[in-house]
Structure 1
Amino acid sequence: MLDTEALPGLTRAERVQAVDAWLAGLLDDAVAGTPPPLPRRGGAPPRTGTDGLALMAVGSLGRRELPPYGDLDLVLVHDGRPEIASLADALWYPVWDAGLRLDHSVRSVADAVAVASADVKAGLGLLDARFVAGDPALAAQLRTATLSSWRQAGSRLLPALRDLRRERARQVGELAFLLEPDLKEAYGGLREGQVLRAVAAAQLADEPTAEVEAAYAFLLDVRDELRRRSGRAGDVLVRQEQRPVAAALGLADEDALLREVSLAGRRLAFVADETWRRVESTLVGRPRSRYRRVRREPLADGVVRQGDEVVLARDARPAADPGLLLRAAAAAARADLLLSPYTLKVLAVHSPPMPEPWPAEVRWSFLRLLASGRAAVAVLEQLDQEGLLSRLIPEWDRVRSLPQRHPWHRFTVDRHLVEAAAAAAELTRDVDRPDLLLVSALLHDIGKGWPGDHSEVGEPIAARIAARMGFAEADVAVVATLVRHHLLLPATATRRDIDDPATVDRVAETIGSDAAVLQLLHALAQADGAATSASAWSPWKAHLVAALVARVQAKLGGAPLEEPAKVLHPTSPQVTSAPPDVPGTAGAVTVGIQDVADGQQVTIGAPDRPGLLSTCAGVLALNQLDVRAAKITVEGGRATSVFAVRPRFGRAPVPEILADGVRAALEGSLPLAERLRQREVDYRQDGTRSAPPRISWHNSEVSGAATGIVEVRAADRAGLLYRLTAAIAGEGLDVTSARIETLGGDAVDCFYVANSSGEPVGPEQRTRVDAALVAAMRSTAGAPPAEVP
């Protein structure tokens, strides 16, 4: 009897051996317990024993890769035995009785071949068929017939297999860049290794290399440990299992595990992409004459195009030409082609070390490569996979496949940098120094491979790399500045009042008096955001940053940019709809709505009173509107509150409903706090994060009416802005404006506050406000205490 409880603790080899032995015994018992049919008059005597009967394992068991809690995929092959149905029942039922999941079939050799030649999944499965017990000659016959059928049907089945993998890649994503990857189905996962073997079996590609097999084996190890630790079948490396899996595999932590998984996935995906290119070029019906002349088109010195690839010219001398590597890479990207695998190998083996500093011709080739935009991404991946990119930039190894656990980021650090350079290539005509933009985009996060703030750490690293590339000393300083301050514009625009002169002064002082640096920082912010995700660079954020740049440009005294429309219109909003039954008196509540970048602007007019901004924010929250910026102005006893909002569920705000809600809240007939608590219960995804909030003050960065800035970082929740502004108002402070930014599940809310007396916010009052904010954030969710620096 098979000890199924002990199977997960065995090694793969031991597990397969135990299951094979058990299945062989089941087949013997099934044959012994099933009487043969009576012989027909004049017919041949009935078959006995396992003659003409073979039990074959396919799937993971057939590949000797059976994971813990894995399914058994079995095929019972026969040569026409009439009692085959009884034999199969006697074989399958003990497997089910043991509590194992079973995928089974009964086939003759002819049946199996017919199915394999018509169904790509069935054909792929039978390629893994392995003899377990019974008649070895029949098993060998099946293997030979299946392989022959696969080779004959390959030209018809492989395009379907390619399409299946591409569709799965669209659905599941790429293994290399997922924070919770599907080890089997994600592109670059275990399925890729199986497909590569199938393509090799069709004699359309070489057998997978030892490096590919090592990457595949590592993913098998990760899956085994994942299932063993979680105690269930499953191939998704969920976050809560990453640390124990890493420890079981002898890795430092979950980030080290994700990095190794990413490296393995990238290798498998890279080889799979190259293999599919080879297959497609074979299947397009080109003449196969060995004497066919291949046209060669010169692209650069020592570099030619041959068919759909870039190769070295016959007279190229890579060992004596340090610039050939980047010249070939740039030529390939400019032609929107790839280097041939053989050319990559030749360059990897024979290219000499790059002189330092780089010669001008080498630096020019590198910039041409980066300026190729999207076409450069695949070429840079080729250089990376052959170790050539790290040879050019040794610091690259620190960020290679480094995971980013921020919810906005869709790529590892190194791929994000390449994507940022590709995005920057679209902006080179907007700046005076496109070369510095391209290099800074490629290096802006290079400090993430080191401890400390990546912007500060990355500054000297980027300077060292730029100097090695041969840039002039002044240019090196600009690259270092761009890397150090690449987050300055988006962080300031989304968290500070850009109409406050102190905000503009701070940015101007930080970057100095060179308007060209501001221009480059603006382009770098756009490229960085585009390479991160759509959420990281929304039309709203682009509008804010452009408005900030216009103000700083004017401050620096350079040629002023055309200033974008004001972000918020606190005095004369363009009202597109307003409640018709509300008279325009000083005591009326009016609501105007205007479409703006990435959402709407809601302008609420009402009699001034303490906590008015909080009341309006609460009404907006009840109407499922996420607030991204807010400002209030008071004139003649009447307040105008302006909010930039985005509907959480796609429903545009209705001015009549908002006006009624504000009026009811001001009259006391709408219990805002109670209604918002109920809404948080209804939408349980809000407020589920347990990380403590953080509160910080920035009183030195304000001017005008505001006397302080309080910044609150906390888990995003329904009505968070309402609770925070109510807490601030409760301590005697007026909120004059607010900037709200949501980063995945976190919110960064910055409030400009003022005492009615005009006095600065003192230490005692800050302490009281901090305590009130902590209480507000814990009012319904029971969060841990806030961190107050």
Structure 2
Amino acid sequence: MRPGPTDYASARQRLLTEDGLTGARRRIALAGLTDRWLAGLLAGAAAAVRSPSAGGERPAPVGVALVAVGGYGRGELSPRSDLDVLLLHDGTTWGSGVTALAEQLWYPVWDSGAALDHSVRDLGTAREVAAEDLKAQLGLLDARHIAGDPSLTAALRSAVLADWRATAPERLPELQAMGQERAERHGELSFLLEPDLKEARGGLRDLVSLGAVAASWLADAPRDGLDEAALRLTDVRDALHLVTGRATERLSLQEQDQVAEELGVLDADTLLRQVYQAARTIAYASDVTWREVGRVLRARSQRGRRAPRLAFPFSGTGRTSGAVARGAVERSPLAEGVVEQDGEAVLAQGSRPAQDPALPLRAAAAAAQAGLTVAHATVRRLAAESRPLPVPWPDEAREQLITLLGAGSACLPVWEALEAEGLITRLLPDWERVRCRPQRNAVHRWTVDRHLVQTAVRAAALTRRVARPDLLLVAALLHDIGKGWPGDHSEAGEVIARDVALRMGFGRDDIETLALLVRHHLLLIDTATRRDPEDPATVEAVTKVVGTTRNLELLHALTEADALATGPAAWSAWRASLVGDLVARAEALLVGGPAPEPPVVELGAEEERLAVEAARTGGPVLSVRAQLQRGEEDPEEPAAEPMGVELTLAVPDRPALLATVAGVLALHRLTVRAAAIREADPVGAGPVLLLSWTVAAEYGDLPEAARLRADIRRALDGGLDVAHRLAERDAAAPRRRGIAAPPPRVTVAPGDSSVSATVLEVRAHDAPGLLHRIGRALEDTGIRVRTAHISTLGADAVDAFYVTDTDGRPLAPDRAAAVAKAVQQALN
């Protein structure tokens, strides 16, 4: 006798609860048990329809096959999964009797209580339905024979795969759009407190999509960790089914402890971290795969012919291909050792990660600033070949991290790529404790690590409000780093922040500032919402902690960025007004007497020599000196490569001096990292301006000093039209989307900032020729730049210009405001 519904249900229950099987072994056993039961049902149904009175051995049914599709077809039969089956027939053998056959087959399944998703079709109809319904086609891609005529199942599989590969260029974009819509509806699995294991981004449904892409032969997902991630999510779903007794995919809060216990996991937080890590692996693999699909489809469209099949494009380490070496692939430089190719940042052909420790951060920063991501093969190569950064970090590495964070939302995909290959934890070992750590708080939208990055993203939009955007961005990245340790996370975070800042190479004062920001990042919001701002003691308590107006403005910006990155409920107009009022009161208390003038710096011997020569000859005199990385050199290591050059130019004061020299540097693709302008009169022959510049090449080699000196002389003499040359170069440069940086901000410092000049503060996104444009705008207003202090912190320019009228007096307030407005308009 064939097993009845009760027999199957009993055997199934024993398998799930008594046989000691777990995970994949249990799913395989359950699929096998179900296969045998359904095979018996089909044989019995066929015999009953053909010869109801026949007994004895039943011959295998002909002209019909029972096919498992979807998850059942893949053998992923969880305790409460649907039985997704297709009764496939040849269209002739059974005729109208196929309906009776189906009824004989389905009713025992329903009687057993098993959930059934069924269909009855011939081969032609199955192909037609698949052509019209993408979900049906995806299910058939996983078709597996259960019983009946195996040649029918083989024909179905062959036809469906052929149809899928033939129509993949049209259907893959539809599949991608379906995944995007699903992600918008269900969110990202790796950040949800009650995630949908199947439908959320990074869930089991995305694994099905990756399998479909692989079946198209156009691309394949990076396989590292993908099988383990799939196994983890499927095991969690099995446990969820057993705990709830329902076919649910949502891992709700009230069931997480039981699911953790079912899986033998320490606690619910550990369970969520494992789920989040698996989801990130799947989500990143999806991102990489869909970018590859897009490239292949664009190439096919552009060439008008079939693109080469890329079944295993991610198996290598990302070394340059022969096509690139022959110049068949278009590349454009982004930074030293980094180029853009096919919409991604990749390594230049001569790059040597093993000899360039800052290259991973330089590639990441260049990609983010250009609005790109780093190619998967490039990240893998960087992870495999790059050496650890020395301690303290080279200055360039710290600047590149700040530039990466300063890219705002464009930082996110780059950060995810680095994290997927372990580069973030290698750079910041303390990151591992907060990585994928859940926050059981309805106010918090993200895991701890993603909240930190999101805070940096929010802070990037506030950099124009602070004098030290680099400290704001790093504090944003570290402010909750202590949540991976026991005790008060602010206290633990202060200790970690000091250590990290020291390793990054920050100076002593900056380390203290970062430690203060991390330790007290909740001070303003807690005080503003829980204390009386009218009470002088409230404001005094705040000023006692922050100490300076600079720290206050940094803490104010960090407070806002932190709240905005937490979630909608954490920041509102009311909270913003409370914090703003508290900050205004604290600032008023902190502001004392007039700020001192910048200290007078005595001329060094070389600077005095240059000034004397310039005063006597009346022409520009230039000194060029290579600048090495800060820190002691290891005698066993090769000599340090110059990180840039220091230029000192002495020249008698003349109109448009700042704009002209800055323009020449921009023409030579030199990035100004720091600069200062000072007056000197060493021989009493009239003022000489000393321009001290620290510059680095955007990419490639530094220019020859003789050529740079000659071009500066030509520009000052009128023989080189700098503005025209820069405009020509900009017009011919390839257009990149880049990032949407915060708008520039030009302000007049308070009147007590200087007793002898008006101080203009310029905060803007650094870009080639920025200082040239500022200099031209200042020159056009008819004022005189007496001194200047120019800094580039990451991707942000923070400049202060001490200006006077032509008689050497500070500007009147209305004229100062007009000059600031003119400069800002020139930068917009």
Shared fold (TM-score, shorter chain, > 0.5)? yes
Alignment of 1:26-425 (within 5 A): 26-35=41-50, 49-80=60-91, 81-82=94-95, 83-206=97-220, 209-284=223-298, 285-287=301-303, 293-425=328-460
Deviation by residue 1:124-179 (Cα, 9 ceiling, x = unmatched): 01011111111111111111111111111212222222111111111111000000
CA RMSD of aligned residues (A): 1.7
Distance 2:71 2:567 in 1: 37
Q: Does 1:24 align with 2:59?
A: no
Deviation for aligned residue 1:7: 5.1
Structure 2: gaps spanning 5 or more residues: 1-6, 53-57, 309-322, 595-828
Is contact 1:515-1:558 (8 Å) kept? no
Distance 1:436 1:384 in 2: 22
Distance 2:106 2:578 in 1: 66
Distance 1:49 1:18, change over 3 A: closer
Alignment of 1:686-725 (within 5 A): none
Is contact 2:16-2:79 (8 Å) kept? yes
**What's the secondary structure of 1:65's corresponding residue?**
coil
Distance 1:409 1:125 in 2: 37
Q: Which amino acid aligns with 1:522?
A: H
Q: Which amino acid aligns with 1:6?
A: R
Q: Which amino acid aligns with 1:66?
A: L
Is contact 1:404-1:411 (8 Å) kept? yes
Which residue in the other structure is 1:676 paired with? none
Distance 2:212 2:246 in 1: 29
Distance 1:535 1:377 in 2: 23
Distance 1:321 1:527, change over 3 A: same
Is contact 2:433-2:484 (8 Å) kept? yes
Distance 1:64 1:75, change over 3 A: same
Identical residues among aligned pairs (%): 53
Is contact 1:219-1:261 (8 Å) kept? yes
**What's the secondary structure of 1:187's corresponding residue?**
coil
Which residue in the other structure is 1:537 paired with? 571
Which residue in the other structure is 2:473 paired with? 438
Distance 1:144 1:405 in 2: 49
Distance 2:457 2:164 in 1: 41
Deviation by residue 1:16-59 (Cα, 9 ceiling, x = unmatched): 1111110011011011111279xxxxxxxxx9841221100112
**What's the secondary structure of 2:50's corresponding residue?**
coil
Deviation for aligned residue 1:400: 0.2
Deviation by residue 1:163-202 (Cα, 9 ceiling, x = unmatched): 1111111111100000010001111111011110011001
Distance 2:533 2:302 in 1: 62
Q: Does 1:6 align with 2:14?
A: yes
Is contact 1:168-1:186 (8 Å) kept? yes
Distance 1:558 1:533, change over 3 A: farther
| Correspondence for 2:30 among 2, 11, 15 | 15
Q: Which amino acid aligns with 1:163?
A: A
Which residue in the other structure is 2:732 paired with? none
TM-score (norm 1): 0.68
Distance 2:593 2:168 in 1: 64
Q: Which amino acid aligns with 2:352?
A: R
Is contact 2:70-2:138 (8 Å) kept? no
Q: Which amino acid aligns with 2:560?
A: Q
Q: Which amino acid aligns with 1:12?
A: R
Deviation by residue 1:684-719 (Cα, 9 ceiling, x = unmatched): xxxxxxxxxxxxxxxxxxxxxxxxxxxxxxxxxxxx
Deviation for aligned residue 1:8: 3.6
TM-score (norm 2): 0.65
Distance 2:230 2:425 in 1: 23
Is contact 2:521-2:555 (8 Å) kept? yes
Q: Which amino acid aligns with 2:237?
A: R
Which residue in the other structure is 1:550 paired with? 584
Moved over 4 A (4+): 288-292
Deviation for aligned residue 1:286: 2.6
Distance 1:214 1:344 in 2: 21
**What's the secondary structure of 2:506's corresponding residue?**
coil
Distance 1:333 1:210 in 2: 24
Distance 1:6 1:559 in 2: 83
Is contact 2:455-2:564 (8 Å) kept? yes
Deviation for aligned residue 1:365: 1.1
Deviation by residue 1:465-509 (Cα, 9 ceiling, x = unmatched): 010000001110100000000000011101111111121111112
Deviation by residue 1:623-660 (Cα, 9 ceiling, x = unmatched): xxxxxxxxxxxxxxxxxxxxxxxxxxxxxxxxxxxxxx
Distance 2:68 2:417 in 1: 37
Deviation by residue 1:288-327 (Cα, 9 ceiling, x = unmatched): 6777932110111111111201111111111111111111
**What's the secondary structure of 1:286's corresponding residue?**
helix
Which residue in the other structure is 1:618 paired with? none
Distance 2:169 2:358 in 1: 41
Is contact 1:182-1:189 (8 Å) kept? yes
Distance 1:210 1:362 in 2: 28
